[in-house]
Amino acid sequence: MTTWLDEVRWDAAGLVPVIAQERGSNDVLMFAWMNRDALAKTIETGCAVYFSRSRGKLWFKGEESGHVQLVHEVRLDCDNDVILLVVTQQGHDPGIACHTGRHSCFFQTYADGRWVAVDPVLKDPSSIYK
């Protein structure tokens, strides 16, 4: 029997790319990966759960920082190989999704042959992560 999880086109490592987008502003907050367990836990809990490739385990967004992502909608793209989460970023106002203490992980822009940080640090990462 095929389940909704079987309809996702997982890569050879059993992962699917995930984009987290902020509800309301539509800001792209971050990019991460999920495995089957992470996607199932996200649906079950209503909070974003990713798979950390560097740690080789599930990563409950906000488990250290308190910056939890409440999931309002889970979308699958036309090729069934990318997930979009529509979220509300919790734990700080405005929300902090990036480990650098910024609202979004996409805080750099290309200009004149280099990458320039254009968004401010909202909270010092050393005060977020112990």
Tens digits of residue pLDDT in 6-62: 999 999 999 999 999 999 999 999 999 999 999 999 999 999 999 999 999 999 999
Asked if omega into 17 is within 30° of 0 (cis), the reply is no
Domains of the chain: residue spans and CATH: 14-93 (3.10.20.810)
Tens digits of residue pLDDT in 53-106: 999 999 999 998 999 999 999 999 999 999 999 999 998 888 999 999 999 999
Distance CA 21, CA 84 (A): 7
Angle at 107 between CA 102 and CA 110, to 5 degrees: 165
Distance CA 43, CA 57 (A): 18
Beta strands, E only, 11-68: 16-22, 28-34, 49-52, 57-60
Q: How many CA atoms lie within 13 A of 76 on its CB side?
A: 13
